[in-house]
A and B are shown apart, each in its own frame.
Chain A
Amino acid sequence: MKILIKIIILLIIIPSKSFSLIEVDITRGNLDPLPIAVSPLSIDENSRQNFEKILKKRNIGEEISKIIEVNLKTSGLFNPLNKDAFLQAPDIANLKPRFEDWNLIKAQALITGKVSYLDEKLRVEFRLWDVLAGKEMVALAFTTVPTNWRRVGHIITDKVYQRLTGEKGYFDTRIIYVAEEGPKTKRIKKLAIMDQDGANNKFLTLGNELVLTPRFNPTSQMVTYLSYFRNLPRVYLLDIETGMQEVVGDFPGMTFAPRFSPNGKKIIMSFAKDGNSEIYTMDLENRIVEKITNHPSIDTSPSFSPDGKFICFNSDRSGYQQIYVMKSDGSNVKRISFGKGLYGTPVWSPRGDLIAFTKLHKGKFYIGVMRTDGSGERLLTENFYQEAPSWSPNGRVLIFYRETKTDDKGEGFSAKLWSIDLTGYNERMVKTPTDASDPSWSSLLSN
């Protein structure tokens, strides 16, 4: 459990209630990102040298502020300003910003801070300022082991994001995905995990067997996925820290499309037998297996609502792939997708209000969202091939994968991760060391 770190958050000053302070509206497109100045976290010479020895980084204060900047920019809601224009030195700005100076470069918000070396630990304090009002909005300090310095940057971003948008952030998170290599006809696939910003990439399997569709449990310490170990496609469970793996259940055939229930106690998945795929759950504590659907059609891609009371899933019982919702005991099955085309991969939003999906219509693939009764369908992005959306823990961003069309010789294939804002804006490729597919977003690692 080395990743489960102990962060001591000392609330220096409880932020005062804000009526007139700045706010960022995340329910609309990011046409006008908020100009924000991220002053490099100041550091005294002694601390700088100590961290340089431990972390091989010349100035850890600057490095942390770079992480914050990249996070803010990637969100599409903020426009971090060029540091060359900053007039005030970092150490002085952290004590008392000269708001006129920051106002001059059009900054509306300002982040300042200080890093110090304290009993072999990394101590960070930071402040968020409203430049126009000339007021402090957040002030926090925490202490952690030095190797956690990247997470410090993510946690600060989460606090800033939360203070300015009113909703929790999604920066101190990780992505589990399938790393892909080799020709399309003989693809080698491995489970891989990385920080949300692509750092600390790590492979979890060797690529000896085909692996697909990894998904986190609610605490993000376990993963359920499909493995073709010994050419038997089965749902597995993997403990990320210990590397322990086990088969889920004892089914006489292929199990696939696994996900955790919202409390992490059950796995919901499909079991295919005699040409018929049905949805089952298995309780991880008492191993009790329950059959949820009962229909001769294909029933797959199940996903629980966050309160655990409903399940959305994919079925072709109408003749073609459509999205259905039922109660978690399998009763009250209702079709909710009625637009033109085929619908697949429904995933319930962590906020509970929306279902994200993949749609195929006239040879194009779309990622979209609809309300849980099927109304208000909105397509966010169109492409040759893309599927498998996964929600950020705050339900504001979707990550999915996209494949390119090959040329006449069958060359030029690639698979990459992409993210898009729920508003349909801010579509970005998520950099990975290899080709990538089947992303799953973790919960917030620190709260």
Chain B
Amino acid sequence: MKKSRIRNIDQGAIMKLNKILKNTLLIVFACFALSACATSKKSTGQMQGDVYTGTDTVEYLASGVPDRVFFATNESVLTTASRETLRKQAAYLRKNSKITIVLEGHADERGTREYNLALGERRANAAKDYLMTYGISSDRISVLSYGKERPVDSGSNPLAWSKNRRSVTVKAN
């Protein structure tokens, strides 16, 4: 009786150990899988969700002041990164008070032409509103939507589309 009990305990312990091992292995595997995902994302050019986070097409209004922000599909909501970019733009524009700008709103090719014109206008206005809350007068800002007419990347893939969903701040004078 006793003997068998001990054996049982042992077996139980072994089984527990097995379980723990299995779980750790699973976790280790999961880690691998995640990092694989992360690397593959990086290698295709950096997207978070479907918002472009790379610097491939980005130009600069001044050193450290990127000229554009990117959007998710069908969205005109500014991401954290976009707000940071726009704050930098606002700081730059406050320092250079004679500069006026055009905000050019764009959409990707995966939408109907007319809706995309409206969407581009909505995106550029999201950027405009944010700049205004950081002290840039609306007199200095005009808005122009190109819809899907002026892509920066001519590719037909999710990465190219993410680069094309953008609002670009262009100096007008």
Contact = CB atoms under 8 A, between A and B. Distances in A.
B155 interface: yes
A253 B145 CA distance: 10
B118 A298 contact: yes
Contacts of A226: 117
Interface in B85-139: 109-115, 117-119, 121-122, 124-126, 129
Contact of B113 (A213, A274, A405): A213
B156 interface: yes
B14 interface: no
B8 interface: no
Contact of A257 (B74, B117, B156, B160): B117
A55 B160 CA distance: 51
Contacts of B156: 384, 405-406, 410, 413
A185 B154 contact: yes
Contacts of A274: 125
Contact of A185 (B114, B125, B129, B150): B150
B59 interface: no
B114 A406 contact: no
B115 A344 contact: yes
B115 A256 contact: no
Nearest to A403: B109
A84 B154 CA distance: 49
Nearest to A299: B118
Contacts of A276: 122
B38 interface: no
B124 to A, nearest CB: 8
A414 to B, nearest CB: 12
B95 to A, nearest CB: 27
Interface in A370-392: 384-385, 387-388
Contacts of B150: 185-186
Contact of A413 (B74, B110, B126, B154): B154
Interface string A266-277: 000010101111
Interface residues of B, number: 31
A334 B156 CA distance: 35
A183 B154 contact: yes
A406 B160 CA distance: 11
A345 interface: yes
B155 A408 contact: yes
Contact of A345 (B114, B122, B151, B155): B114
Nearest to B104: A231
B107 to A, nearest CB: 11
Nearest to B151: A185
A405 to B, nearest CB: 4
Contact of A385 (B109, B126, B153): B109
Nearest to A276: B122
Contact of B154 (A184, A314, A345, A358): A184
A385 B115 CA distance: 15
B78 interface: no
Given A184-B151, A185-B150, A410-B160, A272 B113 contact: no
A261 interface: no
A360 interface: yes
Interface string A180-195: 0001111100000000
Contacts of B111: 321, 344, 360
B7 to A, nearest CB: 57
A272 B115 CA distance: 11
A345 B112 contact: yes
A233 B145 CA distance: 8
Nearest to B150: A185
Interface string A383-420: 01101100000000000000101101011010000000
Which 8 residue pairs across A and B have the least CB separation, nearest first? A275-B125, A410-B154, A344-B112, A184-B154, A277-B118, A405-B156, A272-B121, A298-B118
Interface of A: 183-187, 210, 212-213, 226, 231, 233, 253-254, 256-257, 270, 272, 274-277, 298, 300-301, 314, 316, 320-321, 344-345, 358, 360, 363, 384-385, 387-388, 403, 405-406, 408, 410-411, 413, 438
Given A275-B125, A411-B154, 11 more contacts: A231-B144, A254-B144, A270-B117, A272-B121, A272-B145, A275-B76, A277-B118, A301-B114, A314-B112, A345-B112, A410-B155
Interface of B: 74, 76, 109-115, 117-119, 121-122, 124-126, 129, 143-145, 149-157, 160
